[in-house]
Amino acid sequence: MRDFDALPSPLRTWLSQAALPWSAGSARRIWLKARARGLTPEETLVILNRVEARTLAHDVHLSVFKRNIHT
Protein backbone atom coordinates (compact mmCIF):
# COMPACT_ATOMS: atom_id res chain seq x y z
CA MET A 1 0.00 0.00 0.00
CA ARG A 2 2.92 2.29 0.69
CA ASP A 3 4.06 1.92 -2.94
CA PHE A 4 0.60 2.94 -4.15
CA ASP A 5 0.47 5.91 -1.79
CA ALA A 6 3.84 7.13 -3.09
CA LEU A 7 2.56 7.38 -6.68
CA PRO A 8 1.65 10.76 -8.19
CA SER A 9 -1.98 11.68 -7.61
CA PRO A 10 -3.03 11.48 -11.31
CA LEU A 11 -1.55 7.99 -11.53
CA ARG A 12 -3.30 6.83 -8.35
CA THR A 13 -6.60 8.12 -9.72
CA TRP A 14 -6.00 6.36 -13.03
CA LEU A 15 -5.16 3.10 -11.27
CA SER A 16 -8.33 3.27 -9.19
CA GLN A 17 -10.34 3.33 -12.44
CA ALA A 18 -8.22 0.94 -14.50
CA ALA A 19 -9.79 -2.16 -16.03
CA LEU A 20 -6.79 -4.33 -15.16
CA PRO A 21 -5.25 -4.98 -11.74
CA TRP A 22 -2.01 -3.04 -12.25
CA SER A 23 0.79 -3.25 -9.74
CA ALA A 24 2.11 0.04 -8.44
CA GLY A 25 5.56 -0.87 -9.77
CA SER A 26 4.36 -1.56 -13.33
CA ALA A 27 2.37 1.64 -13.49
CA ARG A 28 5.23 3.64 -11.98
CA ARG A 29 7.72 2.32 -14.57
CA ILE A 30 5.51 3.43 -17.46
CA TRP A 31 4.82 6.76 -15.73
CA LEU A 32 8.51 7.51 -15.11
CA LYS A 33 9.57 6.49 -18.62
CA ALA A 34 6.93 8.70 -20.25
CA ARG A 35 7.67 11.64 -17.96
CA ALA A 36 11.42 11.28 -18.63
CA ARG A 37 10.60 11.63 -22.34
CA GLY A 38 9.01 14.97 -21.51
CA LEU A 39 5.36 13.96 -21.69
CA THR A 40 2.85 15.80 -19.53
CA PRO A 41 0.86 13.91 -16.90
CA GLU A 42 -2.15 13.98 -19.22
CA GLU A 43 -0.14 12.57 -22.13
CA THR A 44 1.27 9.91 -19.83
CA LEU A 45 -2.25 8.85 -18.86
CA VAL A 46 -3.05 8.49 -22.56
CA ILE A 47 -0.05 6.17 -22.88
CA LEU A 48 -1.30 4.12 -19.93
CA ASN A 49 -4.74 3.88 -21.53
CA ARG A 50 -3.15 2.64 -24.77
CA VAL A 51 -1.04 0.05 -22.97
CA GLU A 52 -4.08 -1.19 -21.08
CA ALA A 53 -6.22 -1.31 -24.23
CA ARG A 54 -3.51 -3.24 -26.06
CA THR A 55 -3.28 -5.73 -23.20
CA LEU A 56 -7.05 -6.18 -23.09
CA ALA A 57 -7.20 -6.68 -26.86
CA HIS A 58 -4.42 -9.25 -26.64
CA ASP A 59 -6.27 -11.09 -23.85
CA VAL A 60 -9.47 -11.16 -25.91
CA HIS A 61 -7.57 -12.47 -28.92
CA LEU A 62 -6.03 -15.25 -26.82
CA SER A 63 -9.37 -16.28 -25.35
CA VAL A 64 -10.96 -16.46 -28.82
CA PHE A 65 -7.97 -18.41 -30.12
CA LYS A 66 -8.14 -20.89 -27.23
CA ARG A 67 -11.88 -21.28 -27.67
CA ASN A 68 -11.45 -22.06 -31.40
CA ILE A 69 -8.79 -24.68 -30.68
CA HIS A 70 -11.02 -26.53 -28.24
CA THR A 71 -14.14 -26.61 -30.44
Residue 58: its pLDDT value, please? 82
Backbone φ and ψ for 50, nearest 5 degrees, come out as: -65, -45
Sign of CA dihedral 53, 58, 59, 60: positive
Angle at 52 between CA 17 and CA 61, to 5 degrees: 125
Residue 1: its pLDDT value, please? 86
Q: Dump pLDDT digits (tens) for 10-62.
A: 999 999 999 999 999 999 999 999 999 999 999 999 999 999 999 999 866 55
Q: Which residues contact 35 (CB under 8 A, 6 or more apart)?
A: 41, 44
Other beta carbons within 10 angstroms of residue 59's beta carbon come to 11
Residue 6: its pLDDT value, please? 97
| Residue of higher predicted confidence among 71 and 51 | 51
**Domain residue extents for the chain:** 2-69
